[in-house]
A and B are shown apart, each in its own frame.
Chain A
Amino acid sequence: MSIELGHFALILAFAIATVSAVGGYAFWRSGQRIALVLSQGAVLQFILVAVAFAALIQAFVTSDFSLLLAANNSHSLKPLIFKISGVWGNHEGSMVLWILILVAFGAMVAAFGRRLPSDLLALVLATQSLLTAAFAGFTIFTSNPFARLIPAPIEGNDLNPVLQDIGLAIHPPLLYAGYVGFSICFSFAIAALVSGRIDQAWARWVRPWTMLSWTFLTLGIAMGSYWAYYELGWGGWWFWDPVENASFMPWLAGTALLHSALVMEKRNALKIWTIFLSIITFSLSLLGTFLVRSGILTSVHTFASDPTRGLVILTLLALVIGGAFALFAFRASTLRQGGLFAPVSREGALILNNLFLATAVGAVLVGTLYPLLLDALAGTTISVGAPFFDLTFGTLMAPLLLVLPFGPLLAWKRADILGAAQRLIGAAALAIFATILISALGGVSISLAPLGLLLGFWVAFGAIAELVDRSKLGRIPLAESARRLFGLPRSAWSTAIAHFGIGITVLGIVATTAWETERVTTLNPGETTELSGYTIAFDSFAQVPGPNYISDEGRFTVTAPGGGTRQMLADRRTYVASGMPTTEAAIETYGFSQLYLQLGEPLDDTHVVRIWHKPYITLVWLGALFMAGAGFLSLTDRKLRVGAPRRAAKQTPQAAE
């Protein structure tokens, strides 16, 4: 009966959400009571969807194949962790996870939002309920996860073997928390537009939600990238695949939103732009959902290639995004513009950041959608690949990274760019020194790589420069400096760490792109090959049964250039239920670099072995971890920081000319 109770819980949550949305928009002006009812409704929605989700997990764990979803996506032999993660390794279940996170954010607003003005709270919760109703309705009516299968089959169809990985337990929940978290910003934006009121308190509320979602999204994308890297067996970590772009666009827009919300919280400026970005960011999240679910794209994410569902999602998307932008068009002019500032100021720098990020979103959007549209309208298939993105995106990012270290050193309202530049001289010198050192040591030929390294070091050292500057390191006694350093607000730390993370990621990207080496060869057990100074010996080959697969295991011994040997185990698995093969690459980390070994298909008694040496590749994800860590650090800092303006300098009389 638990399955049916779960089904009922989901439907009841849908009913509460529907009535909440209608009631909320009708009565948001009426006072406290409606806000209280909606808060309670938001909490109930969360509890009910959690019950529904638990019922699905219960069915998967007990291998209850009378649940169609479990029969299609589970198998009694699967390890427990994959039985649980299999719940969202498919279209229907992942929609329930999506809704669960949506209502969890709604419940959090209800729990923490008691101090919000009642009309704002009512509107936010009504919008959140509207989204819940829309997506729960979509799930219940077009892709019901609680459909039954009678008689229950003996055994399930098993989950796509590529998804039988710990990555499935981590990547989607993180990514969804990011995507869906932006719904809060969206709801706040809609509430501001409907009520026609937006003030600093609004921004103070929106920024932490943006920060939370952005942090999760950062982790989710990094995790997805690493998962693709080790599971798909191509050894690449980013492919400019439309599915990746679908998650990257909200990240870029969310990054812009994060910075503009900062301006709004501190300085009460950029209000309308912040609202616009809130809508854009969540719209891009929805677009991502649509792109990967509609069957337009074929990838491991395409669970449902059912055109009807795609059409419904498209309609939902058009209604939500179109409605929000129509509202924006009608109401934005009624909102009061915020404070003024000089072009050279912290605000100005953040606007520059937004400008570049927004343009980058545009570039990625065009590159992602243009081939799809062309295919749909003209039937011409073109492929917009990495060269396009590398060129456009790289061109946009280079200047942004170049000016990035200046931002945090500029004062609010009006600033002194020369002063900031002076304080960055040390960082610049260090960056140039590090680049020259590495280039000289590595004997690098003339190419773009040293420039990329320079950029990475510049961003990383420039981020630290702010901390160094504010702690007055070298200008006052060391102990005093340390005291000042640790006395700095956590927001200053998080800014520096996040920017440092970007520098680290850039370094990783540049190094691995420029100096990656690869060898494809045929090997028999007992034979040896060599790559970038590493000696790889193929020790043995054996067939070993796993829990629900049979594995062809190749054991290798690697001798590093500096001596020392390690074992590597690469295997190809054939899953019993589906007969599908997967490759499990062997990855060995040396410092920040990795050796990536993949056992290919057998070829006339010998084995094709692909080996890559990827220098400093872990920096790519390490940088993302820095960024996410900075996000969490910033979230712990709930104290309001004053963005104090700089007073206008006394006008000195100009000499007449």
Chain B
Amino acid sequence: MLFWFIAIAVTAIACAALFYAAGSRAVNAGTPELDDANSHFRLVLAGIDADLAAGKLGEAEATAARGELAREILRLKSETGRVAGTGPAFGRTTLLAGLGGVAVLALGLYALLGNPDLPSQPLADRSDVAAQQIDIDAAIARIEAQLTANPDDLRGWTVIAPAYLEMGRYADAARAYRRMMELGEPTPDLQTNLAEALLLGAGDAGSDEAIALLRAAADADPSHAMSRLYLASVLTGQGHYDEAIPFWNAALALSTGDEPWLTAAQQGLAVAQNGGVAPANAQEAEMIGQMVGGLADRLAAQGGSVEEWTQLVRAYLVLGDTARAQAAYDDAVAAWPQAFDRGELDTLALGAGLTLNGATP
């Protein structure tokens, strides 16, 4: 409401100013129309005289200049008279109509485009509102801004590091954890977190730095489960099963029984114990066993394509049954004696460490 009051007042003032500008108190009213041109010629003439007096012009040049000026004045006089006053009359009604047009156009257009009720929201007034409806990107931007101004703010880094991790900005998270370690003590938690950020940033490949950090954390605190957990996981991923098993066991030993990572740790231990192959659970194993058995029976009875034999060997390998895989492979070689036909099968067998009986790779 206040806005419209001001807007209308401003419009009224502008229109009044325009209206009175056209009033009787015209500034150059009564000036003859030709006056300006004449005054210009008078200036030129004065200029010629002044230059002559100052010796900048010769007498002959001054005469020539005066002559030119006279010709110009004559030409102007002979031209058709002035046009002023010949057009349509510009009366008070016309002016009022124009001013009405201004008011309607301005207020109407603003009503269409403007947001009269929206208050200004400078930053200083906005911080309280902001706190309530904080969204993570903006909050992070804000903390970043503070940290740029004051990079020694440990609290800021503590807040922002997990947020980075959550947002997938692993490099930034690693930078934040490093900064925290510089500012404070390198606690096992920090070391583990930094290692986590490094591991996530690098994909599956665990870096030496991450492993070193995790080992340091595990050594520093014999009851630190998370560092052992990550270490076990990384070592398992790298194929160092023998090294991984004690860490899995240690982590499981430290658990109280309701940790979210418990199942994952048990599976990890099983994988490590099983030489890198995940053992399926009993029910699944039974089902898979039935399917594999069906395929094996069919192939033994009727024979089959190299692809089917390959499928069978792979199934045994996945189940961890190396002996049967070897037997199935030997049968397959018997069924398809030409090495040329068994390209993929031999590759699989070689990779799984089966003996290539009678077959030359």
Chain A residues within 8 Å of B, Cβ to Cβ: 1-5, 7-9, 11-12, 14-16, 18-19, 22-23, 26-34, 36-37, 39-41, 44, 48, 59, 62-66, 75-77, 114-119, 140, 144, 146, 148, 150-155, 195, 197, 199-201, 204, 268, 336, 339, 413, 545-550, 576-577, 639-642, 644-647
Contact = CB atoms under 8 A, between A and B. Distances in A.
Contacts of A547: 148-149
Interface string B114-152: 111011111110100110011100110110110011010
B85 A44 contact: no
Contact of A37 (B18, B64, B120, B151): B18
A578 to B, nearest CB: 10
Listed residue (B2, B118, B138, B149) with the most chain A CB atoms within 10 angstroms of its CB? B118
A626 B133 CA distance: 57
Nearest to B124: A62
Interface of B: 2-3, 6-7, 10-11, 14, 17-18, 21-22, 26-29, 33, 36-37, 39-40, 43-44, 47-48, 51, 57, 60-65, 68, 72, 75-76, 79, 83-90, 94-95, 98-99, 101-103, 105-106, 109-110, 113-116, 118-124, 126, 129-130, 133-135, 138-139, 141-142, 144-145, 148-149, 151
Contact of B122 (A63, A114, A116, A119): A63
B64 A152 contact: no
Main secondary structure of the interface of B (DSSP, over half): helix
B135 to A, nearest CB: 8
Listed residue (A37, A48, A148) with the most chain B CB atoms within 10 angstroms of its CB? A37
18 contacts: A2-B120, A8-B10, A9-B10, A12-B14, A19-B102, A36-B22, A63-B123, A65-B121, A77-B148, A77-B149, A148-B118, A153-B138, A154-B139, A155-B145, A545-B149, A577-B144, A640-B43, A644-B61
Given A8-B110, A117-B33, A647-B64, A32 B26 contact: yes
Given A16-B102, A23-B98, A117 B36 contact: yes
Nearest to A154: B138
A466 B148 CA distance: 59
A36 B21 contact: yes
Contact of A64 (B18, B122, B149): B122
Contacts of A268: 72
Given A15-B109, A576-B148, A66 B121 contact: yes
A632 to B, nearest CB: 22
Nearest to A549: B148
B164 to A, nearest CB: 13
A62 B95 contact: no
Contacts, number: 233
Contacts of B89: 30
Contacts of B99: 19
A639 B106 CA distance: 43
Nearest to B117: A4
B109 A11 contact: yes
A504 B141 CA distance: 49
A300 B87 CA distance: 49
Nearest to B7: A8
Contacts of B103: 15
B138 A32 contact: no
A500 B43 CA distance: 31
Contacts of B6: 1, 5
Contacts of B33: 117-118
A453 to B, nearest CB: 35
Contacts of B114: 4, 7-8, 11, 146
